[in-house]
């Protein structure tokens, strides 16, 4: 693996870390009933820096940026005119590390959006 790929992997991990940490800690709280994790998150949310790190912009934007960076490296689209035909070519590279980042970022985005939907879902009664 060359230097630019390893730097991109580190950048992707840094971008995904807040969402990954929040999702992992939520699973520890709900799934394994580890209440000290909830207390730790409560203390951290009160701190100015961690309140910024765990903001919705960072939690959703980090994995989205990592997804864009990874897909930018593995997908190529080219278009050209050949003999009165317009030809579009999509090439996909088989770089395992970038595909892992794409899968992890997509999963984190899906998990955070599903949590946001379920947490804010309300059944509204309609009277006719």
pLDDT in tens, 43-72: 888 888 888 888 889 999 999 999 999 999
Q: What are phi and psi of 92, to 5 degrees?
A: -125, 125
Q: CA-CA distance, 123 to 126, in Å (whole number)?
A: 9
Q: CA-CA distance, 50 to 54, in Å (whole number)?
A: 6
In this prediction, residue 4 has a pLDDT band, given cuts at 50, 70 and 90, of confident
Query: What confidence score (pLDDT) does residue 67 get?
Result: 95
Query: What confidence score (pLDDT) does residue 68 get?
Result: 95
Q: CA-CA distance, 70 to 102, in Å (whole number)?
A: 6
pLDDT in tens, 27-39: 888 888 888 888 8
Query: What confidence score (pLDDT) does residue 120 get?
Result: 81
- What are the start-end ranges of the E strands in 1-128? 75-82, 85-92
Q: CA-CA distance, 36 to 103, in Å (whole number)?
A: 30
Greatest pairwise CA separation for the chain in angstroms: 68
């Amino acid at each position: 693996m060359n230097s630019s790929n390893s730097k991109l992997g580190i950048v992707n991990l840094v971008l995904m870390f807040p969402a990954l940490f929040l999702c992992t800690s939520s699973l520890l709280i709900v799934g394994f009933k580890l209440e000290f994790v909830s207390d730790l998150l409560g203390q951290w949310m009160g701190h100015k820096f961690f309140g910024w790190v765990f903001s919705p912009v960072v939690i959703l934007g980090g994995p989205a940026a990592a997804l864009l960076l990874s897909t930018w490296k593995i997908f190529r689209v080219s278009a050209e005119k050949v003999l009165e035909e317009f030809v579009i070519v999509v090439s996909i590279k088989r770089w395992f590390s970038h595909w892992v980042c794409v899968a992890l970022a997509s999963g984190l985005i899906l998990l955070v959006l599903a949590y946001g939907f379920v947490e804010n879902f309300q059944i509204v009664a309609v009277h006719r």
